[in-house]
Structure 1
Amino acid sequence: MGSHQITVHKVADQLLVKFFKEVAQAIGSTQIAIGVIGSTQSVPMRLNNEAWSLENEYAWLLKSDDYSVETISTGRPGFNVSLDRRTFAGNVLYDQLTISSDPNQTGGAPPLAGEGVKTINDLVSTYLMADFNSASLAFSTPQTVQSLLKSHQTMVTRLEGMVVDIGERATRVRIELDEEFNARKSELELQFAQRQTDAQRTVEEQKRILSEQDEELRTRAKLLDDRNNTHARRALHEQFKTRLADRFKNLDLTPQTKSSRTPIHWAVAVTASILAILIAAFTYEAVTILGNAGSTMPERILVIAKSATASLGFLGVISWYLRWLNRWFERLADAEFQLKQFELDINRAQWVVETAFEWKITQDAPIPDPLLENISRNLFSKSEKDENADMHPADFLASAILGRASAVSLKIPGGGEVSLDSRGIRKLQNEKPGD
């Protein structure tokens, strides 16, 4: 691999482009890359059908006597020729030409032979290496030197103007971009403010709609609550009726109450059995003694008294037991009657409540108190019990006798006597025990 840098005479753009065209043809290259001052990218120059083509906006380089070309290069795999004026930016008369070759990177192409190398050297000598006489002509007169310096100064001034122009263009573009950005920003801010206002208006409208819907739902909920209360009340009424009906079907004492009555039944049964045995024994004894002619009177009286006493005891126990059973039957009957009355009162109360609600809905006012009092009279009131129903038949008989008598005389121990007229009897009847 070799790289050769040659200091060559500075030539105008058209001569430099012509030199590289012939070099490209000599090495077999079809493209030349040209870097122009002020351009951000290299300008390609291609060989098409044995004719070189260049972009129209850079076609002036083919006839330019200026020094606008900054870099130019051409090459093929393994061989490259380039010129870079940037390395000699402070030199007025010379440029630097670089020729590099690498036999290992030919890419299968034949390496450049001696004739090719000679051709390139001849082209360098012809276009870029002026002879001494030609070079000395540049310094033969002060006018020539001044012309050359003036040309160089013109090129530098032009380059400076191009740099200033590029800077001004960049500044204008930046200002235009800033203005466009600010305008776009203001437009977006206005759009955002408008959208925010529209969104706020939409939110307020939605809030209003939701508020109306909420009020409507509250009204409907109140109506539904009233209906639900009515349905719940009616359902509760049906449950009461169902439970009362079940109670009527199974109206009986609970097992606990029945078990608590069992000892009484057993006690009465045992007592009655004992008294019955005693009655049988005393009766047999009385019959035996009364049938015996040798028995004395006191013996007969004693036997009869014992038999009578046992019989009275048996009758007393049986009477008390029957009265006790009758009391339980009366209580069960009273409970059944109370349940029936309670059922009637429940139905009446339901009817009263429904009537009151209907009156309030239709008349928009509570039902009058006199009407309410009349339709709800005697609801859940307990009827007074007949106290005479619990009296013993003997007490009932005595009361009847005393109630019909106009005067009563009672003898008391010690020889005294008490007399009561009809007024005293009524007063005695009205007095409670213990007064």
Structure 2
Amino acid sequence: MSNQRIKFPRCSDKRVAETFVELGKQLGTQTVTVGALAFTNIGGVSLKTEPTGDWKALLDQDSYLIDTMAVSFKGLTIQYARGGQFPPEQKSPIYDEIILTWNNPNPPQDALQNSEKIAIVALINKRLNPFELGRTAESGLLSKEQNQLLAIHNSTLERLEQLNEALIRESTEFRERLDQRFGEKVAAVESEYAQNKQRLDAEVEARVAEVDERQRQLEGKLKEIDDRDNTHARREIRDRMLEDVKQRISQFGVSKITERKRMPVLYGMLALMIVFLMLLGWTGYEIRSIDQQYYSQLEAMRNISSAGVDKLKAAGLSPDAIAKASAVDLDRRDVWWLWGRFTALSLGLVGTILYYIKWQNRWAEQHVASEFHLQQFYIDVNRANWIVESCLEWRKAANSDIPNELLKSIAGNLFANSQGEPEKVIHPADELASALLGTASKLRLKIGENELDFDKPSKISDKDIKLGGTGEKA
């Protein structure tokens, strides 16, 4: 039986317990023997369950109460000793120890393998950070405990150096892995970009080829359209014309702008009618006032006449006043003048109304004439197209032009407007003047050295103008 010791800085109870829990998991053991200070024997403790009883009470203190802990597995005994496995007066206040005891098991095949032993020691070193005594130069200036602390510090520095080297190495490896991954991603992205570019270039080429093909097809169709014979083009134009005329007929009417141009005439006529009505009302009021005054005077004179001369003298009136009151002297000229003005205003109002009615009727007649003209144009377009088609068929069949007599007979009055201009609207005053002038058999106007003769002034536009002195007609 031989022993080996692993020294490490003093550890708390929880850290020692955690180390033995990890050892129990690695060794496959379930219990460990625990002894505490003050001669406290806790005994076997389960490593796979939560702490209970005295073991839990000890760990809850989170102090340095564990004195010994031991676990055995396949000939290897692992024992923890607080302050080292020494007599009490020689225990170290600075470090603790793990004592490894090896007993060859029987049979030998049950012994731990070397790899398992190495793993156990590596776990202890990792968890407890061991150190070695005697690695510092001893001198008479330092005590034994100071040398031990210095050894611990050196071990700590070595571990820090190892940790630093490990961190630098891992950082370098991590950076290399990042660079490698970045390079791989860049290569993958470039490869994907190249593939996408190649694919898109192929698609663009295909689309360009498709567009070129469509362009060639369109050019071919345009050429076919341009190469069509005149019959199809003429029929297409005819159809468009007929469709336009048909739409105009179905939506016949004037625009809003043209409709608004009629409004000033309407407002002017209404204003003129209102003026006539106001003047008629005022004239009627004056006639009524004068008539009331007339009848009042007439009644007064009747009363005076019936009273007699004696009563008038008795009333103290002079003979001149009596004679003047007895005379019937009432002037009615103002009343007749008012009635004349009332008649003239009435005639003006009636003439204005008649003129506006005729003007509206003229507007309606122009609309009707325009609509009839569109309908006639629609018929003439169809008729002209039929004539052209007939002429082409005649040329194809007879190899000659259609006779002029036949063409004139079927194309007579084509696109001819048989409707004359509607009669112009004339104000009743103008008609009255025309009627007065129309009673004369002849009208002669002298302009400078020339004379204008009109036989019937009511039809001035139908007669020639004779120029006096030369005998020429204009």
Specify the TM-score bucket, using the shorter chain as the normaliser: 0.3 to 0.5
TM value normalised by structure 2 = 0.36
TM, length-normalised to structure 1: 0.39
